[in-house]
Structure 1
Amino acid sequence: MTVRMRTGQAAPGIDAAAAGGTVARDMAFLAPDAVAAALAVDPATGLDPGEVRARAARWGPNALRARPPVPAWRRLLAQFADPLVLLLIVAAAVSAGLWLREAAAEGQSGLPFESLAILAIVLLNAAIGTIQEARAAQAVAALRRMSAARARVIRNGTRQEIPAAELVPGDVIRIEEGDAIPADARLVRASALLTNEAALTGESVPVPKGAHPEDALPKDALPKDALPKDALPKDALPKDALLLDRRAGGETDPAEPRTMVFSGTTVSAGLGLAIVTATGMRTELGRIAGLLEETTDEVTPLQTELARLGRRLGLAVLAIAGVLAVTIVLADHIRTLPALLDTLILAVALAVAAVPEGLPAIVTAALSLGMLRMARRRAIVRHLAAVETLGSADVIASDKTGTLTRNVMTVRTVVTASGRSTPGGPPAGPDGPLRSELRQALLAGALANDAVLQEREGGVAIQGDPTEGALLVAARTAGLGAEARRFVRLAEIPFSSERRRMSTLLRETGGPSCLVAVKGAPDVVLARSSRERVGGRDRPLTPERRDAILAANAALAGDGLRTLGLAHRAVPEGEATAPDDRIEQDLVFLGLAGMSDPPRPEAREAVARARAAGIRSVMITGDHPRTAAAIAAELGIASDGTALTGAQIDAMAPGALDEAVRRVSVYARVAPAHKLQIVRALQRNGLVVAMTGDGVNDAPALKAAEIGIAMGVTGTDVSREAADIVLADDNFATIVAAVEEGRAIFANIRKVLRYLLSSNLGEVATMALGVVLAPLLGLAAGPGEVVLPLLATQILWINFVTDGAPALALAVDPVDPAVMKRPPRPRGEGVLTGAMAWSLSFIGIVTAACSLFVFDACLPGGLVAGSGTLAYAQTMTFTTLVLCQLFNVFNARSAEASAADGLFKNRWLWGSIVLSLLLQVAVVYTPVLQQGFSTVALSPGDWLFCAGVASAVLVLEELRKAVARARRSAAPGA
């Protein structure tokens, strides 16, 4: 059937179909030709570009309505949800009111600079938090766009792969095992097609599908006049359209039509060709109200742990601030309302500054930006939690083909009854038996094939499986292209991991009978063969010949070649009506095709890098054991030639596999079910497993593994949906790069935590010790006065200047090469360890000591006599504390390495430090800010003194790290 329409002029039925609802679903009960006519498309050629544009403009993208983004003003308001921030704002407002009342009573002019400074800092912090959250949200949105679903379509006579969002009603889509169906569509061709419609019906049993209503529906289907007369617009369909329904007058249940496939469901088996009838919100999935509105943002275990840590720190700091406030009130005999209010503001400001309220936003930004970095290295993360788990991976269990190898298949040799030959090479003779056998074998490989060769500038492009493409190229090289085109495909039995073979039923143009062409695992094809092609005739397969063929197969596998068995047989006309496994019996064995898929050049180095990082590489493949062992030895995965097969796993006693996985790193001839067994066995040994997969049946293993990794190029939609990470290039080296990035992300989050907690601890210790040691420091407060090393505004300013930009810069610190020289992080190890806590405490105490030393040195009396005023001493202490935290940024970059390592690698870090210094200079010298923050101008000598004292934070931590490194080097076994 051919349908021709002028661009932009849709058939009358297209509006009804694309509108979704009952009319679109009624396409299920039309004959395939009637559906194509109603949707104005030829299934053989698909839509042309002009028609696609016209329909896209009319119906919009094939996407469900997304939850609207949170407006910026709501994000900003959410920053004030913290009770401490609200209390600080209220206290500042009350303080401003008291100031205004006193100013009016005393006739003073001016502004309440302190209260205004507090409010300004709160607003600035809220703005920064809003920007950080927006940046993280943009990063997550970018990742979602990268992992968007794709669809295979026929447009303008060629196969294409496009984003699923670009589908329009009338598009012709091709679906096969493992695909997620991208839109509601009516089948026009199907072969052994089963779909899983649990997403719509809740029923997990696969549903059989067919292209013809009379084949797909029950025998008691009603005749064509059962459909209500007004179901379709007048003249929308051809007069001879076949209409079938199951219930007179009843609305169609989406679970019932066997000729329809639905968006959001998946293909369990088989393949099909279908015409899109509804897209976006007009699909059955789109009819489910509130689907996306009810979704929630993903929260990872790390974020949960940090939230719990933040709550505990908040309670601790609140307790300290409360005790500090009570101590001040009692020690200084404070009774007046203004002094009590100042004390309250001071306590609340200390609590606000000490609690790292920006940590969740920074962690989210670190995760999101790190995931973008991973995406640039071709690893797309679907679940945030996988980023954390990557650092704990002990084993990477990987497929061979396409992951460890290049997936560029080439038929190197073909072994037939008369010998061994090379496609395109010189045969034994132009008409000899070897040539005849080679042509028959390659023809079978080209006919049992779903790949397509497309002519392109500079060569031929393969659309489809690389192995099938290699067979097509070999047949073309042997001059069999025209001969293959004489055959018309009637049906096929698709390949599956259980069957390990594929068959097609064909009729030769003008021929008297049909032909079955079979390709698959050599042992499977040979077991179903009873004869062998020798020259131009067939002879029975003897046990000796079977042994010889299997020996030849083993020899090819030992050379590192992937092998396929090829066979065919003539089928009587009567058997060709309903193809099933029975037509794959009594085959004529034609030969073995040996294909090479060389290892990726970068794979060996990636295996070595993984080993240096304490990660073991394991190869799992369906190939011959000798092929697997040869590739594994070349890559450095295993050199002992040992490969455990699926049959051997099945024969093992309970518990034996747990022992075997400790020493075996190569698994061959395995089915997807064996992958799950291997994962479970590795996990029972206490190992964290990253597992790759590409097929439908790999999904259980991907879900069971701590890190499921799907192939983005050759993988199915089902495997990608089950995985945590999708490889955009199917490359083993990308897995190792993802592990490196995952470790770097976690290390950066620890850097941020190390910096924020140690710096905030320094602030709390400075204030607490300032109160406790007030008599020793020369602090003399009059009755009812509050005199401390720092003011509330200064504490908030320190939090604003040092907790924002420097912390965010640490979150994007470049990858430290040392992360791949350490063993995996122990499972269950928290983000804050005991060693980290001791280091934080050490830095916090040093920071407080430096700050209080400067404070004491600037005041008369105390341990170190000075001559400055209180305002001068507070400004010096204020500046010293800021500089201490900026020096501490370099400490935080590593818990072990010297700060000098990679000192200039992070330009953002240096930029944030310069910004913080400029802000501190502004608050010290700008008159308006001097009034708001009670600062006085400092001389260059003052700055040098503050910097010299503050540098002790860096110097002493460097000494501590040096001692720790020396002890570790001297330890036995180091």
Structure 2
Amino acid sequence: MAYNIPSHLKGLNQDEVNRARAKYGYNQLVAGHKSTWLELLLGILKEPMLILLIVISLIYVIVGNYAEAAFMLVAIVAVTAISFYQDNRSKKALEELKKLNEPLSVVIRNTQVVKIPTREIVVGDLCITEEGRMINADGIIVHSNDFSVNESSLTGESFSVFKDSTTTDNLVYSGTITVSGLAVFQVQKIGKATRVGKIGESIRTIKEEISPLQIQIQKFVKAMAVVGLVIFLLVCLFSYLNTHNIVGSLLNGLTLAMSVLPEEIPVAFTTFMALGAWKLMREGIIIKRSSIVETLGSTTVICTDKTGTITANIMQLKHLYDYRSDTVYAEGEFDDKALNELIDYAMWSSEPVPFDPMEITLHKIYEETQKNDLRRSYQLFHEYPLEGKPPMMTHLFENNEKERIIAAKGAPEAILSVSQLSDADRDKIRGVIETFARQGYRILGVAKSHFEGNDFPAKQQDFKFEFLGLTVFYDPPKQGIREVFQHIYAAGIKVKVITGDNAETTKAIALQAGIVNDTPALNGTEIVGNTEGDIIVLAERTTLFTRMFPDAKLAVVNALKKNGEVVAMLGDGVNDGPALKAAHIGVAMGSKGTEIAKSAASLVITNDDLQKLIVGIAAGRRIYTNIKKAVQYIISIHIPIILTVSLPLFLGWIYPQIFTPVHVIFLELVMGPTCSIVYENEPIEKNTMNQAPRAMGKTFLSINELGISIIQGIAITLGVLFSYQLTAQHGGSEEKTRAMVFCTLIFANILLSYANRSFYYSIVESFKNRNFLLVGISCAVLILLFIILYCRPVASFFEVTALSGSELTTALAVAAVSVLWFEIYKLIRRA
């Protein structure tokens, strides 16, 4: 956008910027803290699994088992490396998101207007702010054009304040919002030195609210930790009473504690969310908080603006209605002299430097049709910003000869209400408006006025206006928008349109866009005049909300939330800010959205393509489903480890200590990457977007889902213990029995990771969803297993012996039976 900035405003040069930054630092409330190696190490050492490994290592050193101690040291390094890898991926993803989320500011440097990251603003910079932008530093106004600012974030006062370089209060403050016009201000304070920065010191201590899924996962992990502690004490006591060997009893107890502790779950959750947000970022969807990814999948209602969201925001001028001649002129006829005054005043009522698509079009039509371009001769000296219900705006221009132009435009109802017309004329014009609106056109009324002196009315509606006519725009629905809404409806999500346009135009565009509507439209005044209970009922049953203003939009969003809906609000304007902030998921348009909309939203679609919202919802559902798969896998595979470690001991079988910490830690090293890396990479199942959204507060794992996982775990346990007894009863040594049990469990683990890729489709069908990581890790585990079995030094260390081909086949067959019965269950579900 071109800015009409006075030539004497040069801005800082690079040397001045460097000196200011060296003296005052960056424009940020909190200096970025990078963790030291010591902090990272201490953070890792706090992990329960590593504490257990260190304790076991020390016990092995004390009793002289140095080989086992060395293996545990290797395990500690491996667990640490996996943690670093996952943390690093998550942190890098979040850092990339943070960079994209950082707002840009417009400054003058070296006489050039440039956009820079807000944190790079320095004291002395000349910053430009305009309608809809957030002010990002404290400063003093040096140039302005009809500039007003909302300082409610600091003062609590909701009304906008007009300021310029000559007013008593000529200061602007970081965190406030430009309501109208344009201003250039010289930065005096940045970062923590600003007024909002001082307030922000207390805000820093407020923690981000954690999601319901996080709460449920935390509760589950804590419950498992308590179970682990109880079992640890029981095993230690039972083992000591039988053997009176305190070291052996401690090792038995710690082995079982390792098998119970589900430390993979929190790691998996963090990894899934961070990488999910990062993948969406690559799709052009910027997530402000990674936990929003989870909420996306729960969306039940999408509330969308019309202009620029459903429509292309092109604003083609299709017709002009001239009131004096009572004639409608079509596109191509606008050079008729009878339209000169209507075109003139339509342009004068627009911003001198237009950025709204309709105003850009009006300026263009003025250039094409008017022989004398008077825009340089007249200066805007007074303005009434867009306001009212429905809204209108008025501009007052004056030239050097003190000749004035007073032009107004706005919603046709607003202009009609302030124009001096007979009832019959009003009815006639309303008929014209209705005809256009039914065709989906966007209509503005245009009027002019005359006023002597400078004692202007407090309200623009108090001028005496002469009605001139109507400008009729067509903003067509975006290409492919019908398919987008078909996908939304197929996913069980409701759609509601919340717009400032009139009812007839909105109905026509909604019909063209494929939005399902069988109820009358409601306007903003009908909404706010009701009780909270009535608004909840109206919000739920109504699809089209028209002539909406910020309070009404906010009321609808809050009513839907109170009715249990998970609301995604789409908007791009200043007036959408409150509703975007209040919604579970505020979605702003990246290209045409205002800075206020982007800062209020929790998600930004960079190219304004509504199809991206479907991508986001699908990603949310995929991630939620995959986290559940990972957790169910962890539960199912932990059960046989726990029972295989404990039952031979409690039941007094021939080999009570069939697994030692060495075997359990190997299994843990297999399970960690499988659940957090492999399942995170799992593609979306083909029926996911044809299901109703889940309730956000719904228990993470239902009784049925938890029951299935427990049954899977018990089935695998039965298979593993069957291998134990089969080998032992045929005279197998402890090493042979351990090898059979270990092999059966490893085979079952691999098969389970494939079977649990879907709890609905068959394992064969799931192979169509390619996941190379799963294949790669499965192959790696098998290679390691064969090294353990057939490399003598390693086999000796793991206290196992080589198995014959028939024994391996038996172990695989038992594992297959104990896992693949689940395919019959899925077949019954599909049937």
- With normalisation by structure 1, the TM-score equals 0.78
Aligned length: 821
Per the alignment, in what secondary structure is the counterpart of residue 831 of structure 1?
coil
Structure 2 equivalent of residue 164 of structure 1 = 118
Q: Which amino acid aligns with 1:441?
A: L
Q: Which amino acid aligns with 2:264?
A: G
Structure 1 equivalent of residue 620 of structure 2 = 742
Structure 2 equivalent of residue 535 of structure 1 = none
Structure 1 equivalent of residue 752 of structure 2 = 888
Per the alignment, in what secondary structure is the counterpart of residue 921 of structure 1?
helix
Q: Structure 1 CA distance, aligned partners of 2:777 and 2:521? A: 54
Note if 1:308 corresponds to 2:263.
Answer: no
Structure 2 equivalent of residue 914 of structure 1 = 779
Q: Residues 469, 908 of structure 1: CA spacing in aligned structure 2 closer, same or farther, 3 A cutoff? A: farther
Structure 2 equivalent of residue 877 of structure 1 = 741
Structure 1 equivalent of residue 20 of structure 2 = 59
CA RMSD of aligned residues (A): 3.1
Q: Which amino acid aligns with 1:505?
A: L
Post-superposition offset of 1:593: 1.0
Q: 1:855 aligns with which of 713, 724, 739?
A: 724
Structure 1 equivalent of residue 800 of structure 2 = 935
Q: 1:668 aligns with which of 538, 543, 546?
A: 546
Q: Structure 1 CA distance, aligned partners of 2:16 and 2:682? A: 47
Q: Which amino acid aligns with 1:752?
A: A
Q: How does 1:545-560 map to 2 (within 5 A)?
A: 545-560=425-440
Structure 2 equivalent of residue 27 of structure 1 = none
Q: How does 1:28-177 map to 2 (within 5 A)?
A: 43-45=5-7, 52-60=13-21, 61-82=26-47, 85-99=50-64, 112-153=66-107, 161-177=115-131
The answer to whether the 8 Å contact 1:698/1:719 transfers is yes
Q: Structure 2 CA distance, aligned partners of 1:313 and 1:525? A: 67
Per the alignment, in what secondary structure is the counterpart of residue 102 of structure 2?
coil
The answer to whether the 8 Å contact 1:607/1:637 transfers is yes
Q: Deviation per CA, 1:277-324, whole angstroms, max 9, x where unpaired? A: 444456445567957975656643322221111010111122233323
Q: Residues 150, 817 of structure 1: CA spacing in aligned structure 2 closer, same or farther, 3 A cutoff? A: farther
Q: Which runs of 5+ in 1 are unaligned?
A: 1-40, 100-110, 217-257, 453-462, 531-540, 781-786, 967-974
The answer to whether the 8 Å contact 1:437/1:590 transfers is no
Note if 1:380 corresponds to 2:274.
Answer: no
Structure 2 equivalent of residue 632 of structure 1 = 510
Post-superposition offset of 1:751: 1.4
The answer to whether the 8 Å contact 1:751/1:811 transfers is no
Of the structure 1 ranges 651-660 and 314-323, higher mean CA displacement relative to structure 2 is found in 651-660
Q: Residues 716, 364 of structure 1: CA spacing in aligned structure 2 closer, same or farther, 3 A cutoff? A: same
Q: Deviation per CA, 1:183-222, whole angstroms, max 9, x where unpaired? A: 22222225362332645xx655657352234x32xxxxxx
Note if 1:407 corresponds to 2:372.
Answer: no
Q: 1:690 aligns with which of 561, 568, 583?
A: 568
Note if 1:542 corresponds to 2:422.
Answer: yes
Q: Which amino acid aligns with 1:446?
A: M
Q: Structure 2 CA distance, aligned partners of 1:344 and 1:414? A: 89
Structure 1 equivalent of residue 789 of structure 2 = 924
Post-superposition offset of 1:384: 3.8
The answer to whether the 8 Å contact 2:147/2:179 transfers is no
Q: Which amino acid aligns with 1:915?
A: A
Q: Structure 1 CA distance, aligned partners of 2:607 and 2:381? A: 35
Q: Structure 2 CA distance, aligned partners of 1:565 and 1:324? A: 83
Q: Deviation per CA, 1:719-766, whole angstroms, max 9, x where unpaired? A: 434333233334433333322221112111111111111111221122
Q: Residues 169, 554 of structure 1: CA spacing in aligned structure 2 closer, same or farther, 3 A cutoff? A: farther
Post-superposition offset of 1:563: 0.9
Q: Which amino acid aligns with 1:379?
A: I
Structure 2 equivalent of residue 725 of structure 1 = 603
Q: 1:196 aligns with which of 126, 143, 151?
A: 151
Q: Structure 2 CA distance, aligned partners of 1:666 and 1:119? A: 64
Q: Residues 409, 848 of structure 1: CA spacing in aligned structure 2 closer, same or farther, 3 A cutoff? A: same
Q: Structure 2 CA distance, aligned partners of 1:472 and 1:381? A: 37
Q: Structure 2 CA distance, aligned partners of 1:408 and 1:72? A: 54
Q: Deviation per CA, 1:785-837, whole angstroms, max 9, x where unpaired? A: xx322222101110112222453220232222322111111242111211111
Q: Which amino acid aligns with 1:794?
A: H
Structure 2 equivalent of residue 521 of structure 1 = 411
Q: Which amino acid aligns with 2:710?
A: S
Q: Deviation per CA, 1:399-448, whole angstroms, max 9, x where unpaired? A: 1111111112221111112212245x145xx7xxxx23423222323333
Per the alignment, in what secondary structure is the counterpart of residue 183 of structure 2?
strand
Q: Structure 1 CA distance, aligned partners of 2:55 and 2:280? A: 44
Q: How does 1:705-784 map to 2 (within 5 A)?
A: 705-775=583-653, 779=654
Q: Structure 1 CA distance, aligned partners of 2:475 and 2:140? A: 38
Q: Residues 666, 819 of structure 1: CA spacing in aligned structure 2 closer, same or farther, 3 A cutoff? A: same
Q: Structure 2 CA distance, aligned partners of 1:618 and 1:450? A: 31
Note if 1:830 corresponds to 2:739.
Answer: no
The answer to whether the 8 Å contact 1:675/1:698 transfers is yes
Q: 1:334 aligns with which of 233, 243, 259?
A: 243
Post-superposition offset of 1:481: 8.1
Of the structure 1 ranges 943-952 and 272-281, higher mean CA displacement relative to structure 2 is found in 272-281
Q: Structure 1 CA distance, aligned partners of 2:761 and 2:712? A: 16
Structure 1 equivalent of residue 825 of structure 2 = 960
Q: How does 1:561-640 map to 2 (within 5 A)?
A: 561-572=441-452, 574-575=453-454, 580-582=458-460, 585-640=463-518
Q: Which amino acid aligns with 1:320?
A: I
Q: Structure 2 CA distance, aligned partners of 1:334 and 1:77? A: 37
Per the alignment, in what secondary structure is the counterpart of residue 600 of structure 1?
coil
Post-superposition offset of 1:561: 0.7
The answer to whether the 8 Å contact 1:871/1:936 transfers is yes
Of the structure 1 ranges 558-567 and 797-806, higher mean CA displacement relative to structure 2 is found in 797-806
Q: Structure 1 CA distance, aligned partners of 2:237 and 2:719? A: 26
Structure 2 equivalent of residue 642 of structure 1 = 520
Per the alignment, in what secondary structure is the counterpart of residue 79 of structure 1?
helix
Post-superposition offset of 1:656: 4.3
Q: Residues 471, 770 of structure 1: CA spacing in aligned structure 2 closer, same or farther, 3 A cutoff? A: farther
Structure 2 equivalent of residue 210 of structure 1 = 163
The answer to whether the 8 Å contact 1:76/1:127 transfers is no
Q: Structure 2 CA distance, aligned partners of 1:361 and 1:707? A: 25
The answer to whether the 8 Å contact 1:629/1:638 transfers is no
Q: 1:420 aligns with which of 309, 328, 345?
A: 328
The answer to whether the 8 Å contact 1:43/1:275 transfers is no
Q: Structure 1 CA distance, aligned partners of 2:650 and 2:30? A: 60
- With normalisation by structure 2, the TM-score equals 0.91
The answer to whether the 8 Å contact 2:146/2:381 transfers is no
Of structures 1 and 2, the larger Rg is shown by: 1
Q: Which amino acid aligns with 1:368?
A: A
The answer to whether the 8 Å contact 2:153/2:175 transfers is no
Q: Deviation per CA, 1:152-200, whole angstroms, max 9, x where unpaired? A: 446687866543234445544343454321122222225362332645x
Q: 1:352 aligns with which of 248, 258, 261?
A: 258
The answer to whether the 8 Å contact 2:517/2:544 transfers is no
Q: Residues 362, 686 of structure 1: CA spacing in aligned structure 2 closer, same or farther, 3 A cutoff? A: closer
Q: Structure 1 CA distance, aligned partners of 2:607 and 2:582? A: 23
Note if 1:449 corresponds to 2:350.
Answer: yes
Q: Deviation per CA, 1:316-370, whole angstroms, max 9, x where unpaired? A: 122233323333334xx3124xxx3133123212212321212212211101111
Q: Which runs of 5+ in 2 are unaligned?
A: none
Q: Residues 481, 318 of structure 1: CA spacing in aligned structure 2 closer, same or farther, 3 A cutoff? A: farther
Q: Structure 2 CA distance, aligned partners of 1:542 and 1:790? A: 95
Q: Structure 2 CA distance, aligned partners of 1:911 and 1:481? A: 74
Q: Residues 855, 488 of structure 1: CA spacing in aligned structure 2 closer, same or farther, 3 A cutoff? A: same
Q: 1:946 aligns with which of 805, 808, 811?
A: 811
